[in-house]
Structure 1
């Protein structure tokens, strides 16, 4: 008897023709792979297309807005379109959320920072935007170049929650200069200044606290400053936050068409 191992070969009668002895992958697995692979490739292509369309749309909107800015306003406007699919939003005729950011905007050469969040923005810019909330950040130096308080003399100062300015009032039949700090409150098309502390400016250059002066100022109620004259028509002031040397103003608008006429318009106070 030979000591060589005996090879066991498959029985040709029990092995199907054209198949190897190794087990083949089940048919359902092959069908699943042939289905999922094209779907995965299609999903990647759709995502890539949406990213490309989003980038193009953001650049196009940014360019259009910059072209429509009034001649006294300059700066780059960055645009971000929110939502899951830009293509789907465009086909529906409206974008859910559009963010505009202009951190280095200038108005008459004066630097400010502006940002806007708009919702319900139509793909057709000739149709109105549903709602928008904007924020303006401005330094004390820029504020003094752009805004004036009627009757105020000298510069406006920004403190911790208050605005300071100088003015003149008729006291006992005589015009008297004074310095006052006031708390600003947003009131739609106006900003109301409620006097808090006041002092009399004397000829010697010193200030004398004067209760009667403050009473005279307070009796007149909050002093209104028209904000609409500095903003496009229909834009309202909804909030003001003042810190030392800096102010942040929140603006709102609804149902407006973002075109050159709107950006160039100016509101008025009744």
Structure 2
């Protein structure tokens, strides 16, 4: 009787072992599919980026099972990192997280958030390219603020000054608004107070970055530290098509 019971258990044990092996095989295959999908995504995204963008991109697909997500038609989370990207020669470290990414690239990504870390030289490149700052302005990143120097014309004198500004992000523009200013040269015994007030009343240095970004991607914040300016971006309309990724915004008007 005991032997009969043991014989009856053998098929169940075999089925159990096979089930475990199938689960292990599934996850091994899924892991292989994930690696393949990530590699393929890196190639496809790199091929669809604008010609002005250079640098290596690493793709990580989140979620439990790539196979299950693919069958469902949408990936829960895709993460892109590019620590040494350059856009029109402006270097940046880029980190992107996209949620609800459809396998149909003609559909918009559910939500996308990204951070761009710009060092001091990159910030100065953007400021110079904007044409909205004094030609000789040099930006220095600080703790929550940006310091810069420049000159203004007062009668026949070139008056040097230094200013401290706060940074903000609106739409497609980084704004640097002066909050403090000091005249450094060129006024002699003249009272510099009116000139300081004039500097503080100037319009913010506005740096439009639309021409560096795919259309539909907007700025949502900026954080300044001595090491970098971290710009936060958002979009809910971007698609993973060549047209969407290569159609850049513009700063006209």
Of stretches 228-237 and 55-64 in structure 1, the one that deviates more from structure 2 is 228-237
Superposed, which structure 2 residues align to 1:204-223 within 5 Å? Answer: 210-220=192-202, 222-223=204-205
Which runs of 5 or more residues in structure 2 are unaligned? none
Distance of aligned partners of 1:96 and 1:73 in 2 relative to their CA distance in 1, 3 Å threshold: same
Assess if the C-alpha contact under 8 Å between 1:117 and 1:134 holds in 2. yes
In the TM superposition, 1:48-127 aligns within 5 A as 48-127=28-107
Distance in structure 1 (CA, Å) of the matches to 2:67 and 2:77 = 14
Q: Distance in 1 between matches of 2:82 and 2:191?
A: 43
Deviation at residue 109 of structure 1 after TM alignment: 4.1
Normalising by structure 2, we get a TM-score of: 0.85
Deviations 1:108-142 (A, max 9, x none): 44432111000111112232211111111121122
String of CA shifts for 1:149-191, please: whole Å, max 9, x gaps. 5132232211111112234557689875432110001222222
- CA RMSD in angstroms comes to 2.8
The residue number in structure 2 matching 1:193 is 176
Structure 2 distance, partners of 1:141, 1:265, is 26
Contact 2:82 2:93 in 1 (8 A): yes
Q: CA deviation at 1:248?
A: 1.1
Residue 264 (str. 1) matches residue 246 (str. 2): yes
Per the alignment, in what secondary structure is the counterpart of residue 133 of structure 2?
coil
| Alignment correspondent of 2:3 | 24
The answer to whether the aligner puts 1:180 opposite 2:159 as a matched pair is: no
- The answer on whether the counterparts of 1:199 and 1:209 sit within 8 Å (CA) in structure 2 is no
CA distance in 2, matches of 1:124, 1:249: 29
Tell me by how many angstroms 1:245 deviates.
4.0
Instruction: Out of 75-84 and 174-183, give the one that drifted further.
Output: 174-183
Shift of 1:82: 0.4
In the alignment, the residues of structure 1 paired with residue 90 and residue 177 of structure 2 have an alpha-carbon distance, to the nearest angstrom, of 27
Shift of 1:196: 1.7
User: 2-side partners of 1:81 and 1:209: how far apart?
Assistant: 62
Extract unaligned runs of 5+ from structure 1.
1-15, 17-22
Q: Is structure 2 residue 191 aligned with structure 1 residue 238?
A: no
How far the C-alpha of 1:50 sits from its partner, in A, is 0.7
| Larger fraction in helix | 2
The whole-number CA distance in structure 1 between the counterparts of 2:216 and 2:159 is 38
**Equivalences for 1:142-157 in 2 at 5 Å?**
142-148=122-128, 150-152=132-134, 153-157=136-140
Deviations 1:53-92 (A, max 9, x none): 1111101110011112222221111000001111111111
Change (3 A) 1:98 1:212: same
Q: Distance in 2 between matches of 1:25 and 1:180?
A: 92
Give the whole-Å Cα distance in 1 for the aligned partners of 2:117 and 2:133. Answer: 25
Give the superposition deviation at 1:203: 3.1
Q: Name the counterpart of 1:137.
A: 117
Higher relative contact order (CA 8 A, sep 6+): 2
